[in-house]
Amino acid sequence: MQFSQALAGVDTTARSGPDPELTGVEYDSRRVTPGALFVAMRGETVDGNRYIGAAIEKGAGAILTDSAEAMATWSLRTDVAIAQVPHGRQAMALVAANFFGHPERQLAVSGVTGTNGKTTTTFLLESLLQHAQRKTALVGTIEYHLAGQVLPSPHTTPESRDLLALFRQGVDAGVTEAVMEVSSHALAQGRVYGIPYDVAIFTNLTRDHLDFHGSMQQYFAAKRMLFDASLGQPPRVSVLNLEDPHGAELALTAREHGSEIYSYGFNTGEFRAEDVQLSGGGMRFHWHTPFGHAPVTTRLIGRVNVYNLLAASAGALARGLAFDQVVESVAHLHSVPGRFQTIDEGQPFTVVVDYAHTDDALRNLIALARDLVHKHKGRVITLFGCGGDRDRTKRPLMGQAAAEGSDVVVLTSDNPRSEDPEAILADVLPGLTVPRTWYMLEPDRARGIRMALEIAQPGDIVLLAGKGHEKTQTLRHGTIPFDDVAVAAAVLREMRFAGASQ
């Protein structure tokens, strides 16, 4: 493909040089190969325009820049093909779509956005589609799926160039459905610009990522972009949680832009769950939808998972699955790694690993644990920490959520990153003092997990919250291997519970 063909539909403000044949599209100069187009764009912390020279040295065939200064500098070289655009990420999305042959138009794409529940909802929706024999791709926090192949996930929502390359591989492998988490960062930065979402799902909005967005208003504005045609066109169907006040606002936005609305909730919306019955092995509820009514049985547990199931099931129906097909498939759905994942080494108490890393998610997790231990009169022991280099204002709120619902709290590190772990704990402490709760401080997460498990008694539930599926911990001096599940299982084996269940 020639440079001019790759620029089809792209708003360019200036262009100079030849019209070379392109061999690829890259935004990282380290990945440039001879003949590739290098997209130089300003990022949050790094300006890619600083690496144009490095890309040319590696043989870049053309340059796309969002900098007038870079355009003025490099257009002086007659052997360099270069074009200037007003918005680097939007231009990259369009150029990559052109280069990869518009795979996004050959897929039915379903996107899930919201503070909590994105990962579980995407996994559930993909599973429902697979039960209906649809060939799928999944893009999200834990891992990527491509026609049955599991790939590592470097980002919840990748840059447009990488997303479109993945879609191209999927289409070539026969994939017809793509299900993806759509983060607020990706929406605000234009990483998913130009992706035509057939179905868009909103789960909820609670306090998170304010270190990036600055305010809840800006955070919500980013989420709204999935529904208001900011990406190029609105979704055909918008699946919205009307029991979140932002869902009702999004319903007005989506309807105004021509989307069909599928609303859900316990008591509100067209897709409702009534008479929910919780047990240690799962849940039962009666599902009411415009497509029919039926009792539903699932292995998943907890109120939040009812919401996730409602969202995924409505999304599956929007994608053309039959009502009876969805009801039957729900019974076979499994929990998602790191989302209320239990560890059983024969101990007489329950140990759960969960990704809950906001005050709302932590509060919901503890409420579910309280329901499960109620009949045994057990205690809820909650271990959690707060991430470093992130929104500090949510730290006391996390402490308050833990204190309000737990009998014992072990405050430890999450991913402290460049911050002092002791300083992060100090930010959390004001929330732990109201109401007064028995808590312990241990900055070392492995030691904190051991403390939580060693004080557990028969009938208790120990919640290891915050990191979920993650297999590493990011510290000031670097990233180390760390897995809550593996650490907890090893401690339990040392405590010699293994023989109790045999």
As annotated, the binding site for meso-2,6-diaminopimelate includes 390, 414-417, 466, 470
Residue 412 and residue 388: Cα distance in Å, rounded? 12
Range 408-422 burial, b when 16+ CB lie within 10 A, else e: bbbbbbbbbbebebe
Q: Which of 128, 13, 21 is nearest to 64 (CA)?
A: 13
Angle among Cα 388, 47, 77 to the nearest 5 degrees reads: 165
Binding residues for ATP: 114-120
Q: Which of 227, 91, 96, 226 is nearest to 163 (CA)?
A: 96
The full length of the chain comes to 502
Residue 322: C-alpha distances to residues 47, 291, 327, 500 (Å): 49, 9, 9, 45
SS3 480: strand
Residue 402 and residue 384: Cα distance in Å, rounded? 8
Structure tokens at 83: 């074009």
Range 340-365 burial, b when 16+ CB lie within 10 A, else e: bbebebebebbbbbbbbbbbbbbbbb
Binding residues: 29, 114-120, 156-157, 183, 189, 191, 390, 414-417, 466, 470
Residue 479 and residue 473: Cα distance in Å, rounded? 6
